[in-house]
Chains A and B, each alone.
Chain A
Amino acid sequence: MPLIINGSPAPVPHDPRVSLLDLLRESLHLPGTKKGCDQGACGACTVLVDGERILSCLALAVQYEGREITTVEGLAGENGLHPMQEAFIVHDGFQCGYCTPGQICSAIGMAAEVRRGVPSHVSADLTADVALTREELQERMSGNLCRCGAHNGIIDAIRDVLETRETAV
């Protein structure tokens, strides 16, 4: 059974050592998903699997047979950029642009977690609906490192999308 990458089937690699990240970047020519550490420390390789964010560098491609994988290349639709992509430009949520695909995929996956009411380390009440405070978003995005220092713009972009364009995500 193939993997489904941005809606298109892709064969499972013969070499079981191939990570999902390397499959995307080297075999499928989708280098939008970035390699920043290859050991699960930086978040640059974040992709969505059936809507959930995962680190593709820690995922073996063979484990994802039949799963729906969305990468940064699959976010923009016929009507243009995804709202999160637009917001990152408007709020200057990046500088060099290297951690950006991971930040954007992570933010989209996080929005779904918030909608499901999944609490975080800084949630005061584990049973209440998640309040979208700045701190709550910062905590939930802390697995995505940025070295240029675009943190403020990234959080502003995500808040903007979640507060004003929630339905679009």
Chain B
Amino acid sequence: MSIIDSAKSAAQTLVQGAMSKLVPLAPDSWIPGGVPDPLIARKHGLIGTPVSRLDGPLKVQGRARFSAEVDAADIAYAALVHAAVPRGRIATLDTAAARAAPGVILVMTHENAPRMNAPALFGSSPTAVGPADLPVMQDDRIHWNGQPIAIVLAETQEQADHARSLVVATYSIEPSITSLKAAKDAGPKPGLFMGEPLLTQIGDAEAFLSAAPYKIDHLYRTPRHNHNPIELHGATIWWDGDTLVIHDATQMVTAQGLTIAGVFDLKPEQVHILSPYVGGGFGSKGLWVHQIIGAAAAKLAGRPVRIALSREGVYRIVGGRTLTEQRVAIGAQADGCFTSIIHSGIAAMTPHNNMPEPFILGTKVGYGADSFKLSVETVEMDMVANTFMRAPGEAVGTFALECAIDELAAEIGMDPVDLRILNEPVKDPISGLPFSSRHIVEAWRRGAERFGWSERITTPGTRREGEWLIGMGCATGTYPYYRMPGAAARITLTRNGTATVEIAAHEMGMGTSTTTAIVAAERLGLPMDKIDVRYGDSTIPGAIMAGGSQQTAAIGGAVIAAHNALVAQLLKMAGNDSPLAGLTSAEVGSEDGALVKLDDPTRRESYASILNRAQMDSIVASEEASQPLEMMHWSMHSHSAIFCEIAVNSITAETRVRRILGSFDCGRILNPKTARSQFRGGMIMGLGMALMEETQFDERNGRIMNPSLSEYHIPVHLDVPDIDVIWTDIADPHTPMGAHGIGEIGITGTAAAVANAVYNATGKRVRDLPITLDKLL
């Protein structure tokens, strides 16, 4: 980092520090969301009605072109060679046979790769999304078992795949840390997440714990996980003169373009990333080394390159969720009120990346208590850089916390739902901020009633149906409301009553394109079929990452800003001959293709009329969203109560999920049809996490042992019961459209609900995921 960068960063930290002190104290009306979004009050529009996906007809016919399916003339096919040792140097790399193989165009290694800068590490600037701070194919160093050491380009995929098998590497191996024990022995380091230390202490939690009449204190373990979207990571890449074009599967077109520009010393406008369809992401579809290697090879070969990773290739170079070891200790008074919450432990990382699995985040807002001690420390291992995976932190953190709550309830002899409601905080237990919208108790009560929770038999191991033991469990899920800075929207309104809304956002199955059309139609007062939503293109202004469950809020905020700018332009254009003359944009809204005075709908003029008089075919408004200060002014979260019923076979220990219900409190639901699917999808990933998912890591050599969908098990149709989903649908008055994010809340809490049901069925506590049958026998 240069001196200037350091000074900038120090100044930024000072400003942020001042903001974080002032924003909580500011009057509500100064804060975005201080005045509720007018769309919240509109009850009879498209918002809240089920709408089928607008991209549905394309997708069911296989006509949506994913990134590795884009046509290009004279395309070259890529195959990667991966290192087979965890750390060291390449001693020899023999590519002669590969180069001589039929159809081979190029073999690129560190010896002939163009010089490139290391990608800027994720989080090192607001637009940096590099997976690690390591240079890519620039030297003979090996940093993880699976690191690409060569790329073969050939005329066909078959020729490339064959030639890659002919590359012979030898290594001089250096000492590495590939076992958790060795990593712990080397010493943990304090975890830092988004610049903040992962450490919170209020009062003397250990003292409160030892004085508490009821307490539990246990260690919970979660393994590595891989995202496993069914679409393999892949890209179609070419150079158009000095411009680099990448058709990619990514959740971050803008930031990825900027980071890649830095790698190749290009101007931002010289990198064009397109990603209109993403075949599932869950945190994994971002910048990894394959796009950089592919772009470098395309440059050397002077041809377009298709680099489609094999499934094993994805495991070798796309990191997953890391392992954690978590201590949760809770102390309670005789009446069940918590006096102490301790949640601490370690997460494994690499020396070169920036993602300590922040498993305490959910605990920071879960329950009230007299004292807290929350911390995440990291230990370093030589492995592929770990990364964000659906609900990073919360997914594994709520497993430990919510199992511990269940254990404490059993200790006290209280119903676990009652214990949770008893300890419901009135304000954010750590920051002290007021909640913007928290109706978790309602979610608990409605969920419990619908599920039939009162029929649960408290004594474990006593409900039996034939050879099956039956149990019920529950847990809370939580995930923050985020709206990241930098979002923008561009609205083009035409005289014939159509609008194009452009956002640098992503559709990987969340329903973003459909929901954006719904919201834009309501905001602009146009029918949905008059709205064209364009997204997934780095040339669109602004940056909207599909992460942190923030896309809908970020898009919503950006469309509000662009709409305001559009209204101001239209009013100016309307001039003194309009029924709207003299009104300010704050007094005017959109309705039925017209601008309308909010408190006097008789004063109106249609968009067509305004544009006609001005002799304009269309106007364009492009605007950045307001700063997301609401997140510093209120404590804002999505919530859930998950209930499940499982059956464990008393002979084979096979576990089957019979029923599961998610009761959600996530603000206003914009499109119930796609929202229900997203909730269910998260819960299904939670079922996988509970019962089967584990990336097996060979501690002898740092190699992932099950890099395939045959050996890494995810839930299949027969594992997934008909999932019941309900929601409070209470709008948050302080967010765009009253909505909260819903992409990650489904996975949080689910694994704990299953584990607690397993305990209720069998009397066995499994604190080490996944709950495979060997742990129950």
Contact partners of A29 in chain B: CB under 8 A = 71
Q: Given A89-B53, A89-B60, A135-B718, is A39 in contact with B66 using a C-beta cutoff of 8 Å?
A: no
Task: Identify B230's interface contact among A17, A18, A39, A42, CB under 8 A.
Answer: A42
Q: Is B21 an interface residue (CB 8 A)?
A: no
B63 x A73 contact (CB < 8 A): yes
Contact partners of A144 in chain B: CB under 8 A = 717
Task: Identify A33's interface contact among B62, B65, B71, B684, CB under 8 A.
Answer: B62
Q: Smallest distance from the beta carbon of B67 to chain A beta carbons, Å?
A: 11
Contact partners of A137 in chain B: CB under 8 A = 717
Q: Smallest distance from the beta carbon of A157 to chain B beta carbons, Å?
A: 10
Q: Is A53 an interface residue (CB 8 A)?
A: no
B231 x A34 contact (CB < 8 A): yes
Q: Is B52 an interface residue (CB 8 A)?
A: yes
Q: Given A25-B69, A39-B311, A89-B56, is A96 in contact with B279 using a C-beta cutoff of 8 Å?
A: yes
Q: How many Å lie between the Cα of A38 and that of B118 in the bound state? A: 32
Q: Given A29-B71, A89-B53, is A149 in contact with B716 using a C-beta cutoff of 8 Å?
A: no
A95 x B681 contact (CB < 8 A): yes
Q: How many Å lie between the Cα of A104 and that of B57 in the bound state? A: 13
Q: Smallest distance from the beta carbon of B552 to chain A beta carbons, Å?
A: 15
A134 x B509 contact (CB < 8 A): no
Q: How many Å lie between the Cα of A38 and that of B227 in the bound state? A: 17
Q: Smallest distance from the beta carbon of A58 to chain B beta carbons, Å?
A: 12
Q: Is B722 an interface residue (CB 8 A)?
A: yes
Q: Is B308 an interface residue (CB 8 A)?
A: yes
Q: Is B676 an interface residue (CB 8 A)?
A: yes
Task: Identify B278's interface contact among A40, A96, A152, CB under 8 A.
Answer: A96
Q: Given A31-B69, A135-B718, is A147 in contact with B228 using a C-beta cutoff of 8 Å?
A: yes
Contact partners of A81 in chain B: CB under 8 A = 57, 60-61
For chain A, the count of residues having a C-beta within 8 Å of the partner chain is 63
Q: Smallest distance from the beta carbon of B642 to chain A beta carbons, Å?
A: 14
Name the residue on A nearest B280 (C-beta): A96
Q: From residue 119 to 169 of chain A, which have CB atoms closer than 8 A to chain B?
A: 122, 134-135, 137-139, 141-155
Q: Is A112 an interface residue (CB 8 A)?
A: no
Q: How many Å lie between the Cα of A142 and that of B708 in the bound state? A: 17
Q: How many Å lie between the Cα of A137 and that of B720 in the bound state? A: 12
Q: Is A26 an interface residue (CB 8 A)?
A: yes
Q: Is A118 an interface residue (CB 8 A)?
A: no
Name the residue on A nearest B311 (C-beta): A37
**How many B residues are at the interface, by size bracket?**
35 or more
A72 x B61 contact (CB < 8 A): yes
Q: Is the interface of A mostly helix, strand, loop or mixed?
A: loop
Name the residue on B nearest A29 (C-beta): B71
Q: Is A101 an interface residue (CB 8 A)?
A: yes
Q: How many Å lie between the Cα of A98 and that of B507 in the bound state? A: 12
Name the residue on B nearest A99 (C-beta): B230
A97 x B59 contact (CB < 8 A): yes
A149 x B682 contact (CB < 8 A): yes
Q: Is B422 an interface residue (CB 8 A)?
A: no
Q: How many Å lie between the Cα of A155 and that of B144 in the bound state? A: 41
Q: Is A75 an interface residue (CB 8 A)?
A: yes
Q: From residue 192 to 250 of chain B, which have CB atoms closer than 8 A to chain A?
A: 227-232
Contact partners of A142 in chain B: CB under 8 A = 716-719
Contact partners of A40 in chain B: CB under 8 A = 710
B714 x A96 contact (CB < 8 A): no
Task: Identify A39's interface contact among B60, B281, B708, CB under 8 A.
Answer: B708
Q: Is B416 an interface residue (CB 8 A)?
A: no
Q: Given A72-B61, A141-B717, A151-B684, is A92 in contact with B311 using a C-beta cutoff of 8 Å?
A: no
Q: Smallest distance from the beta carbon of B80 to chain A beta carbons, Å?
A: 14
Q: How many Å lie between the Cα of A135 and that of B716 in the bound state? A: 12
Q: Is A85 an interface residue (CB 8 A)?
A: yes
Task: Identify A104's interface contact among B60, B308, B680, CB under 8 A.
Answer: B60
Q: From residue 72 to 126 of chain A, which have CB atoms closer than 8 A to chain B?
A: 72-73, 75-76, 81, 85-86, 88-90, 92, 94-101, 104, 122
Task: Identify B280's interface contact among A86, A95, A139, A155, CB under 8 A.
Answer: A95
Q: How many Å lie between the Cα of A97 and that of B58 in the bound state? A: 9
Q: How many Å lie between the Cα of A36 and that of B279 in the bound state? A: 10
A41 x B709 contact (CB < 8 A): yes
A98 x B279 contact (CB < 8 A): yes
Q: When each residue 2-39 of chain A gets 1 if its CB lies under 8 Å from chain B and 0 otherwise, what string results? A: 00000000000001011000100110011111111111
Q: How many Å lie between the Cα of A139 and that of B55 in the bound state? A: 28
A145 x B681 contact (CB < 8 A): no
Name the residue on A nearest B277 (C-beta): A97
Contact partners of B430 in chain A: CB under 8 A = none
Task: Identify B716's interface contact among A15, A73, A122, A145, CB under 8 A.
Answer: A145
Q: Is A44 an interface residue (CB 8 A)?
A: yes
A150 x B677 contact (CB < 8 A): yes
Q: How many Å lie between the Cα of A113 and that of B84 in the bound state? A: 45
Q: How many Å lie between the Cα of A153 and that of B708 in the bound state? A: 26
Contact partners of A25 in chain B: CB under 8 A = 69
Task: Identify A22's interface contact among B158, B229, B508, B678, CB under 8 A.
Answer: B158
Q: Is B310 an interface residue (CB 8 A)?
A: yes
Contact partners of B230 in chain A: CB under 8 A = 34, 36, 42, 44, 96, 98-99, 145-147
Q: Smallest distance from the beta carbon of A111 to chain B beta carbons, Å?
A: 15
A76 x B232 contact (CB < 8 A): no
A155 x B717 contact (CB < 8 A): yes
Q: When each residue 693-734 of chain B gets 1 if its CB lies under 8 Å from chain A and 0 otherwise, what string results? A: 000000000000000111000111111101100000000000
Q: How many Å lie between the Cα of A76 and that of B62 in the bound state? A: 11
Q: Smallest distance from the beta carbon of A99 to chain B beta carbons, Å?
A: 5
Q: How many Å lie between the Cα of A150 and that of B508 in the bound state? A: 13
Q: How many Å lie between the Cα of A81 and that of B56 in the bound state? A: 11
Q: Is A71 an interface residue (CB 8 A)?
A: yes
Q: Given A31-B62, A71-B62, A138-B718, is A97 in contact with B55 using a C-beta cutoff of 8 Å?
A: yes
Name the residue on B nearest A19 (C-beta): B158
Contact partners of B60 in chain A: CB under 8 A = 72, 81, 85-86, 88-89, 94, 97, 100-101, 104
Q: How many Å lie between the Cα of A152 and that of B684 in the bound state? A: 10
Contact partners of B228 in chain A: CB under 8 A = 147
Q: How many Å lie between the Cα of A152 and that of B746 in the bound state? A: 15
Contact partners of B61 in chain A: CB under 8 A = 32, 72-73, 75-76, 81, 85
Q: Is B446 an interface residue (CB 8 A)?
A: no
Q: Given A39-B708, A100-B60, is A152 in contact with B723 using a C-beta cutoff of 8 Å?
A: yes
B62 x A73 contact (CB < 8 A): yes
Q: How many Å lie between the Cα of A134 and that of B308 in the bound state? A: 36
Q: Is B179 an interface residue (CB 8 A)?
A: no
Contact partners of A104 in chain B: CB under 8 A = 60
Q: How many Å lie between the Cα of A72 and that of B714 in the bound state? A: 25
B229 x A154 contact (CB < 8 A): no
Task: Identify B509's interface contact among A30, A97, A135, CB under 8 A.
Answer: A97
Q: How many Å lie between the Cα of A93 and that of B693 in the bound state? A: 23
Q: Which interface residue of A17, A36, A39 has the most chain B CB atoms within 10 A?
A: A36
Q: Is B510 an interface residue (CB 8 A)?
A: yes
Q: Given A25-B69, A31-B66, A100-B60, is A36 in contact with B677 using a C-beta cutoff of 8 Å?
A: no
Q: Given A32-B63, A73-B61, A149-B680, is A38 in contact with B311 using a C-beta cutoff of 8 Å?
A: yes
Contact partners of B683 in chain A: CB under 8 A = 149
Task: Identify A147's interface contact among B65, B162, B282, B310, CB under 8 A.
Answer: B282
Q: How many Å lie between the Cα of A36 and that of B677 in the bound state? A: 21
The 3 A-B residue pairs with the shortest CB-CB distance, nearest first, are A32-B62, A149-B681, A95-B509
List 14 additional A-B contacts (Cβ < 8 Å) besides A92-B677, A150-B680. A25-B69, A35-B232, A44-B230, A86-B60, A89-B53, A95-B678, A96-B231, A98-B279, A139-B718, A142-B716, A147-B228, A148-B280, A149-B680, A149-B684
Q: List 26 A-B contacts (CB under 8 A).
A: A17-B158, A25-B69, A30-B62, A33-B62, A36-B230, A39-B311, A39-B709, A40-B710, A41-B708, A42-B230, A44-B230, A76-B61, A89-B52, A92-B673, A95-B508, A96-B279, A96-B281, A97-B509, A98-B229, A138-B720, A139-B717, A142-B716, A142-B718, A145-B709, A147-B227, A149-B715
Binding site for B on A (CB under 8 A): 15, 17-18, 22, 25-26, 29-42, 44, 71-73, 75-76, 81, 85-86, 88-90, 92, 94-101, 104, 122, 134-135, 137-139, 141-155
